[in-house]
């Protein structure tokens, strides 16, 4: 993931939870599951990855 993030210019943090301890603590239900926080670190979205980029009105972020 380090190489891939550098190649693609990813500037976000991610967590590798090898033993699923964090996933269990947060009550994750999906693999992968996304936890999006805003600049104030308020949880704004949790769930499956939203791939509705072609229809922004279908996004939970609009």
Decide: helix, strand or coil at residue 28.
coil
Q: Which two tokens stand for residue 51?
A: 């791939």
Mean pLDDT value of segment 18-43: 86
Percent of the chain topping pLDDT 90? 11
* Contacting residues for 32 by C-beta, under 8 A, at least 6 apart: 49
pLDDT band for 40, please (50, 70, 90 cuts): very high
pLDDT band for 15, please (50, 70, 90 cuts): confident
For residue 53, the model assigns a pLDDT of 61
| Gyration radius from the chain CA atoms | 13
Mean pLDDT value of segment 8-16: 85
């Amino acid at each position: 993931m380090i190489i891939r993030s550098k190649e693609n210019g990813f500037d976000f943090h991610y967590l590798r939870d090898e033993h699923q301890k964090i996933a269990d603590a947060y009550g994750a239900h999906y693999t992968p599951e996304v936890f999006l926080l805003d600049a104030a670190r308020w949880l704004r979205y949790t769930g499956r990855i939203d791939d509705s980029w072609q229809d922004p009105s279908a996004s939970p972020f609009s």
